[in-house]
Amino acid sequence: MSIGEEQESSVEVNGRLYRVPVQPTVVVCVDGFDPEYLEAGIADGILPNLAAFVKRGFHATAHCAMPSLTNPNNVSIITGAPTAVHGIAGNTYLDRQTGEEHMIVDATLLRGTTILAQMSQRGVRVAAITAKDKLRRIINHGLSPQHGAICFSAQYANKTTLEDNGIADVDEWLGQPCPPQYSGELSLYVLDAGLKLLQEGRADLLYLTLSDFVQHHHAPRSAESNDFMRKLDERIGRLVQAGAVVAVTGDHGMSDKANDDGSPNVLFLEDALRAAWPEADIRVICPIADPFVKHHGALGSFVRVHVNRSRGQKDQTSSGSGSSSSSAIVDDMVTICRSLPQVEAAYRGDEAAALFEMPADREADIVVLAKKNAVIGGRSDEHDLSTVAGHRLRSHGGLSEQAIPLLRSKPLAAERLVGDRAPPRQWRNFDVFDMALNW
């Protein structure tokens, strides 16, 4: 195929060409898919279908986008790009103009288009199903039922309409009631719905993104995680049996963040910084915070520190800008953060944006990352630890949760590519549509 012919049968998003699918193609994002779940499950013989992907298809340990959180990585996956390109670098952010903290629950901040939207506009029948509705309202950016697109969440499957979702009354159509918000069944519902769309021949390209409720609560090899992973594997096998090319990845990994006694190993960073700089106006934002508070209690391993101004002064910092005295405070705070026992790394905002490919114009003054066994919060009085009582805290957000599996049901076929390309040295989860459609 010539380059011209390739362009005619492809869509371009963020500098990459994606072939229009020639057979049904399913991309599954397993939320919280730490490689240990895959490795333990294959070793224990409970994941025969994913084991077949590893043996006869393709498998690599890839890295997710930073921060290792749900919103940034799902958007990276559907745009094929890091957060610096699409602009969504958290689940929660601070509006510098108003000083208010906001959760990202729609596509308002998304820059550019998505692979799903461009495929749909090309005439590909696209279906995007999410576990969480807050994510559905981001992923449906550019998708329209008028173009034949289907997009809904398992969380609100009983509220779907043709006008809004491209399909009505999903719970009746699937023959299953909406699962509880905090359950593994929420994810299995997504897979069941995707499988039925595939079996009915209603979609050519499907994106199925799950919930990490199980992974937040249950470690690999626990009875609960084994039960969930068995059911997930069985459904992935059925997607392949239905004739689809299936690619699987994760949005982030997951780590144990508890002390020996089971209590969360947490640093309340805003309290620590205010104790050292009582006159400074300091705000710590936990970008993991989202409407699913029982997953993690808004405690993750990546936080942003805004040093807006010293009280009584008019100057403001913004990613290191502002007066020389404010800049010096930021440098001093970075130094102090690096000395704290729970902290793995701390950077000025502009340094972090460049290092982790995040949008510099939306970055804070300081970025702080926790060690593998720790989380960072803001103030102790703003985190309700009762939401994570009864189990060891497992969470994500930092460098320790970057690793995730990347799998495909078929081996890579480099001869299908146009031009001279080789597999990347380090696969990313946002290579998954490229891998699914182009290789």
pLDDT tens sequence across 213-240: 999 999 999 999 999 999 999 999 999 9
What span, in angstroms and rounded, lies between the C-alpha atoms of 361 and 358?
9
Q: Domain check: are 328 and 415 in the same one?
A: no
Q: Domain check: are 224 and 322 in the same one?
A: no
Q: Is residue 323 part of a domain?
A: yes
Q: Domain check: are 283 and 244 in the same one?
A: no
Q: Is residue 100 part of a domain?
A: yes
Q: 280-285 and 10-13: which strand pairing? A: unpaired
What does the DSSP assignment read for 379-390?
A: -GGG--GGGGTT
Q: Domain check: are 238 and 300 in the same one?
A: no
Q: How many helices (H) and strands (E) does the chain have?
A: 17, 19
In the prediction, which pLDDT does 419 show?
52
Place of tokens 């290792």: 68
Question: Which tokens sit at 309?
Answer: 């101004």
For residue 210, list its beta bridge partners: none
CATH code of the domain in which 76 resides: 3.40.720.10
What does the DSSP assignment read for 228-272?
A: HHHHHHHHHHHHHHTT-EEEEEES---EE-B-TTSSB-EEEHHHH
Q: Is residue 409 part of a domain?
A: yes
Q: Is residue 260 part of a domain?
A: no
CATH code of the domain in which 298 resides: 3.30.1360.110
What DSSP designation does 102 have? E
What span, in angstroms and rounded, lies between the C-alpha atoms of 342 and 265?
8
Alpha carbon distances (Å) from 16 to 13, 250, 317, 433: 5, 21, 36, 10
In the prediction, which pLDDT does 97 show?
81
Q: Domain check: are 156 and 287 in the same one?
A: no
Q: Which domain holds residue 311?
A: 266-395
- Helix (H) or strand (E) segment spanning residue 331: helix 324-339
Q: Can you say how many angstroms the Cα of residue 106 is from the centroid of all Cα atoms in its chain?
A: 14
Helices (H), 48-139: 48-56, 70-79, 83-86, 115-121, 133-139
Q: Domain check: are 323 and 243 in the same one?
A: no
CB neighbours of 276 closer than 8 A, spacing ≥ 6?
Answer: 333, 336
Q: Is residue 259 part of a domain?
A: no
Q: Domain check: are 141 and 249 in the same one?
A: yes
Q: Domain check: are 362 and 427 in the same one?
A: no
Pair 207, 432: CB distance under 8 Å: no
Q: Domain check: are 87 and 160 in the same one?
A: yes
Last residue of a domain, which of 362, 378, 395? Answer: 395
Q: Domain check: are 54 and 158 in the same one?
A: yes
Write out residues in the chain with pLDDT < 70, as ranges.
1-8, 291-297, 309-325, 386-389, 414-422
Q: Tell me the three state secondary structure of residue 101.
A: strand
Q: Is residue 92 part of a domain?
A: yes
Place of tokens 């101004």: 309
Place of tokens 């995730």: 404
Q: Is residue 189 part of a domain?
A: yes
Q: Domain check: are 386 and 349 in the same one?
A: yes
In the prediction, which pLDDT does 95 show?
86
pLDDT per position as a tens digit, 182-223 = 999 999 999 999 999 999 999 999 999 999 999 999 999 999
What span, in angstroms and rounded, lies between the C-alpha atoms of 149 and 242?
20
- The region that residue 430 occupies, defined by phi over 0 for left and psi between -120 and 50 for alpha, beta otherwise, is alpha
- The region that residue 41 occupies, defined by phi over 0 for left and psi between -120 and 50 for alpha, beta otherwise, is alpha
Helix axes 35-43, 223-241, angle to 10 degrees: 90
What is the count of structural domains for the chain? 2
Q: Is residue 258 part of a domain?
A: no
Question: Which tokens sit at 276?
Answer: 């050292």
Q: Domain check: are 206 and 234 in the same one?
A: yes
In the prediction, which pLDDT does 425 show?
79
